[in-house]
Amino acid sequence: MLRAVIVSLSLLAAVPACAQTDADWDLTEVSVAKQLPGPALWRVTKGDKIVWIIGTTTIQSKVAWDSARIDRILSDAETLYLPPAAVGGVSIIYRVMKDKDLPGKTRLKDVVSEVEYARFRETAQKHGIKTSDMEKDKPLWAGMRLSMAVNNKYGYASSPIEKQLTRTARKHKVKIQRVATYEVKPLLVQVNGIDVAESRRCLIASLNGIDYATKTTPGITTAWVSGDVARLKPLLRGQPKDACLDALGEDLTSRSTADTVGAIEKAMTGARRSVLIMPLGALLSNDKLIGELRQRGFTVREPR
């Protein structure tokens, strides 16, 4: 569950084109995915109302991808819904910088095992990341900051997808709004209240995540830009599931799921179609989301 928490905290700690028309969906879902370029799209309908969903994930940010389909869909859309975001203000940034440190002269190597510290250093050296300013961090924060540094070095991010879609929406004068915003202060209180043992587990979770991301992100990028959901599923579902902040991560996932379903219901009351951006991992692994939509009478067409 560390990934769900990192997504929220990192917002503050970053101290031939063709349209996918209704007729296309009369083909098999596999054919749709193969014939149409660009990222896969999910279609949620109820009566004559439509919400298109595009899933985002961490990719190589400089890669070019075909946005023609989504451009055409947004050209006549009413609203672009962005994923939930954490908010907190400048005071929370100072809180992060204050509470991430170990007490007194204690250093990271003093609170983790020799094996854990050696792996932390080896991972950083492998990717050319200096750790001198992380040595005073609590284990969780050291792992999180190292993960962010690796992502920055290799250009791994999901934000460019959201930025490009936001630019396209503005070009077409489409209304833009967040699914929800979450106050990050309560989240920080819980994160900084964990004991050393869990903080160490979170460090290992980050290191495992770094190893997996550097091996798979190029493949995930290729699959995402071509809409190859069949290839994406095992790559995203294979992400390490280490025990770290499980209760907190489950709470964030539940809140996000409920707010996303609410946004889709709201979008269905509009005069025109809408587009919603959400984490691809939730689309592929969160059966509760798709199940909840179907239980409420929505039809969900999933690309394969």
Residue range(s) defining the domain that contains residue 56: 2-301
pLDDT at 72: 93
**Each residue of 104-158: pLDDT tens digit?**
999 999 999 999 999 999 999 999 999 999 999 999 999 999 999 999 999 999 8
Band (85; pLDDT cuts 50, 70, 90): confident
Number of domains the chain is built from = 1
pLDDT at 6: 52
Spatial distance between the Cα atoms of 273 and 254, rounded to a whole number of angstroms: 26
**Each residue of 242-262: pLDDT tens digit?**
778 776 667 777 888 899 999
Per-residue pLDDT averaged across 204-213, rounded?
A: 95
pLDDT at 205: 92
pLDDT at 191: 79
pLDDT at 304: 64
Per-residue pLDDT averaged across 91-112, rounded?
A: 81
Q: Which of 4-8, 36-40, 119-123, 288-292 has the highest mean pLDDT?
A: 119-123
Q: Please check the confidence at residue 54 and state whether its pLDDT lies above 90.
A: yes
Q: Please check the confidence at residue 193 and state whether its pLDDT lies above 90.
A: no
pLDDT at 100: 85
